[in-house]
Chains A and B, each alone.
Chain A
């Protein structure tokens, strides 16, 4: 069998106000409530609500054969509650079907794994508690921010009770001749790994409406045919996993409704389920379905799902990003020493990876994607506002 494993990332950061030096010390809220509420409502209307409806209908229609997984960040849940509670309700309805898996991650969608282990573990625990309290769900699969992964992450996650699988990117430089369709183990063989099949996942997420793409338009028929051709090992009776991981906002927000993305999703399960050797699975089921010795993969250097480099350069390549994040984690340390919970919450909201993504100055193809997501005119401005926020935070601490 070949199982299609859908995982959708649901995330919204707290975007910053255009903070000036002269605003420092005036007790101003750093986050642009107007903008954040506007974006949450827009994405709710264009993506979350309609897509959730489609998925719910599909799950009901195929009576348990269609499955998806979500990773929903704490900052997204908080903003749903504040600005669009019906979205949270519709996610709860989906989880209640029993066919939806929720993944664990850092509450604030942060890069803390790379900078502060204690902070990382705390954010993971916070997120697990949130999934428990909001959805009554106990998470068993972990995805780190932006699918950032390296060997040492698996050691940390293995230590946390209950996590059995980690998702990450199927990076060529790690896989080399291997296929991302197999279920793997981490380097120490203590935890399972599922790798994103980026060619096909990105066909949906990035290329779906690209008229310059030779395969445009992407029809369900064509796509399922491609999937069909992946099943060579099936003859040996091996269970494979086609991991289609992407931002949930792909549906209706990055790819507008007019592109036909909703119709694509509506008809995709039918075509898959028509074929007896194809099906759907959730990430947590994969290791039980893997009917072969899972090979161990070592990731000595960090990888991610971002940009063509699939490394950390989207968040951590220029001096602004590095100075900003190092200053943040120093500050988090100071705040912990003083034990100020209120300031820690603010600092955590500033730990969301998007803040550093907005400061990225890489250009060409990827620069475009960065600009699309940025609420600021330039990376320079993003940095200036961010550093002003950190200066204010430090002033509040003293």
Chain B
């Protein structure tokens, strides 16, 4: 079986959980013998024919233009980064909307105005201008371009079905389905409702709905997301399947505790944005601080609410006990997890939410928002409504006051998470592929 897969993120092209989820999923599908032709928002018109599990790291590429492909094959690359740079895969870790090309634009502009003796004032004017030159339109433009490209792949590649991830690639999947006549599976990792904490962007919402309507099958990453899809998008329940995300931690990680602080350490890890509920974390911290002034609260990550949270936390007078890390790379994420006792995910709406699993894999006791998909797959974690900061604070206090209990739950969680494997989720996806294909064959033969 061969799948034409469209996704906006895949390592090293990662903004959030989507890239990591696709990575784990594709590797497991390859292990099941399913072949994947992967299409990413690259600068060059290429696809990645993945055949062996290890291909997810190697990312072999094929240029659609034969001449360009010959040039590419004869080109010598020092390392994978250089090769991916040639193809035009740009790493953009900050946010979903900040695209590699926009960064290139910013860089190019900066090169022009950045001189040795530029005043602060002049620099700010340029920064403001650059920001104003970028906007949603750039993203939609990029989606348009990506969608048109899908036509080439649909015509020139041979595949059994199409699998797309999240709204940015739905239009591409739809076009590919229309051209090839092959069935379409759309995979929902997050909806506009989750990201915006409400209706959000009308255009995005409509694109999402079109994708789901047009699809032969819809995969939701949780029961929570499936409910959302049914109630906010009115999609036929018979079309929806639930496949929980999984999680695999590389063996390279050191998972033993390595404290930074002597006092209990409570962690928020994720984008500092409305969806993730950072303000509820602060409220909880403020309550706990009154009882346990020795506890440290770490807000790890960046996001559009970063500054707001910084100012609010200062106003709450939490002294030096509420700290911000800024952006963390993988190694630093590992370090901060090893230093933490309690992990809190107060997301307002979280379709799945991989970070608690990651934290639990480090033996960190997790408190998870009930409004999340991940709460459906773990038992050894506290599940609390994101708005119930009183209960959240009480729970944290209880764990601080009973460190042995906290450690015990952490270890149980670790064991539980170690059993979660992408293989099981991939097997479910394989079954969905099979049934979709047989329904499709039935419909075309009749």
Residue-by-residue, is B312-353 near A (CB-CB < 8 Å gives 1, otherwise 0)?
001101111101111010001001100100000000000000
Contacts known (A320-B311, A330-B319); A395 close to B121, Cβ less than 8 A:
no
Residue-by-residue, is B277-311 near A (CB-CB < 8 Å gives 1, otherwise 0)?
00000000000000000001010100000010011
Asked if B314 and A21 make an inter-chain contact with CB atoms under 8 angstroms apart, the answer reads no
Q: Does A241 contact B (CB under 8 A)?
A: no
Q: Does A261 contact B (CB under 8 A)?
A: no
Contacts known (A372-B120, A380-B307, A387-B320); A323 close to B314, Cβ less than 8 A:
yes
Contacts known (A323-B318, A384-B324); A21 close to B260, Cβ less than 8 A:
yes
Q: Does A346 contact B (CB under 8 A)?
A: no
Secondary structure class of chain B's binding surface, majority of residues? mixed
Q: Does A371 contact B (CB under 8 A)?
A: yes
Contacts known (A22-B332, A327-B320); A395 close to B311, Cβ less than 8 A:
no
Residue of A nearest to B336 (CB): A22
Asked if A398 and B314 make an inter-chain contact with CB atoms under 8 angstroms apart, the answer reads no
A-chain residues with CB within 8 Å of residue B326 when the two chains form the complex: 20, 384
Asked if A318 and B311 make an inter-chain contact with CB atoms under 8 angstroms apart, the answer reads yes
Complex: A372 Cα to B332 Cα, angstroms? 32
Q: Does B262 contact A (CB under 8 A)?
A: yes
Complex: A286 Cα to B203 Cα, angstroms? 74
Complex: A323 Cα to B317 Cα, angstroms? 5
B-chain residues with CB within 8 Å of residue A320 when the two chains form the complex: 310-311, 314
Q: Does B261 contact A (CB under 8 A)?
A: yes
Which one of A21, A25, A327, A384 contacts B319 once the chains associate, using CB atoms below 8 Å?
A: A327
**Interface members, chain A 109-163 (any B CB < 8 Å):** none
A-chain residues with CB within 8 Å of residue B310 when the two chains form the complex: 320, 380, 383-384
Secondary structure class of chain A's binding surface, majority of residues? helix
Which one of B121, B260, B300, B332 contacts A25 once the chains associate, using CB atoms below 8 Å?
A: B260
Asked if B314 and A388 make an inter-chain contact with CB atoms under 8 angstroms apart, the answer reads no
A-chain residues with CB within 8 Å of residue B296 when the two chains form the complex: 391
Residue-by-residue, is A376-389 near B (CB-CB < 8 Å gives 1, otherwise 0)?
00001001100110
Asked if B261 and A24 make an inter-chain contact with CB atoms under 8 angstroms apart, the answer reads yes
Asked if A391 and B311 make an inter-chain contact with CB atoms under 8 angstroms apart, the answer reads no
**Interface members, chain A 305-350 (any B CB < 8 Å):** 318-320, 322-324, 326-327, 330-331
Residue of A nearest to B323 (CB): A21
A-chain residues with CB within 8 Å of residue B325 when the two chains form the complex: 20-22
Asked if A391 and B320 make an inter-chain contact with CB atoms under 8 angstroms apart, the answer reads yes
Q: Whole-angstrom distance from the CB of B226 to the nearest CB of chain A? A: 38
Q: Whole-angstrom distance from the CB of B293 to the nearest CB of chain A? A: 10
Asked if B323 and A319 make an inter-chain contact with CB atoms under 8 angstroms apart, the answer reads no
Complex: A398 Cα to B260 Cα, angstroms? 13
Q: Does A394 contact B (CB under 8 A)?
A: yes
Residue-by-residue, is B238-277 near A (CB-CB < 8 Å gives 1, otherwise 0)?
0000000000000000000001111000000000000000
Complex: A22 Cα to B323 Cα, angstroms? 11
Q: Considering residues A21, A24, A380, which has the most beta carbons from chain B within 10 angstroms of its beta carbon?
A: A21
Asked if B314 and A318 make an inter-chain contact with CB atoms under 8 angstroms apart, the answer reads yes
A-chain residues with CB within 8 Å of residue B120 when the two chains form the complex: 368, 371-372
Q: Whole-angstrom distance from the CB of A269 to the nearest CB of chain B? A: 33
A-chain residues with CB within 8 Å of residue B121 when the two chains form the complex: 368
Which one of A21, A318, A372 contacts B336 once the chains associate, using CB atoms below 8 Å?
A: A21
Residue-by-residue, is B392-428 near A (CB-CB < 8 Å gives 1, otherwise 0)?
0000000000000000000000000000000000000
A-chain residues with CB within 8 Å of residue B318 when the two chains form the complex: 323
Residue of A nearest to B322 (CB): A387
Asked if A326 and B319 make an inter-chain contact with CB atoms under 8 angstroms apart, the answer reads yes
Q: Does A390 contact B (CB under 8 A)?
A: yes
B-chain residues with CB within 8 Å of residue A21 when the two chains form the complex: 260, 298, 300, 323-325, 336
B-chain residues with CB within 8 Å of residue A25 when the two chains form the complex: 259-261
Residue-by-residue, is A11-45 near B (CB-CB < 8 Å gives 1, otherwise 0)?
00000000011101100000000000000000000
Which one of B311, B320, B324 contacts A390 once the chains associate, using CB atoms below 8 Å?
A: B320
Asked if A24 and B314 make an inter-chain contact with CB atoms under 8 angstroms apart, the answer reads no
Residue of B nearest to A378 (CB): B307
**Interface members, chain A 55-112 (any B CB < 8 Å):** none
B-chain residues with CB within 8 Å of residue A319 when the two chains form the complex: 311, 314-315
Residue of A nearest to B119 (CB): A372
Contacts known (A22-B332, A323-B317, A323-B318); A387 close to B260, Cβ less than 8 A:
no
A-chain residues with CB within 8 Å of residue B319 when the two chains form the complex: 323, 326-327, 330, 390
20 sampled A-B residue pairs with Cβ under 8 A = A20-B326, A21-B300, A21-B324, A21-B336, A22-B332, A25-B261, A318-B314, A320-B310, A323-B317, A324-B314, A326-B319, A327-B320, A368-B120, A371-B120, A372-B120, A383-B310, A384-B324, A388-B320, A391-B320, A395-B262
Binding site for A on B (CB under 8 A): 120-121, 259-262, 296, 298, 300, 307, 310-311, 314-315, 317-321, 323-326, 328, 332, 335-336, 339
> Ordered nearest first, which 7 A-B pairs have the shortest CB separation?
A319-B314, A390-B320, A319-B315, A327-B319, A323-B314, A320-B314, A391-B320
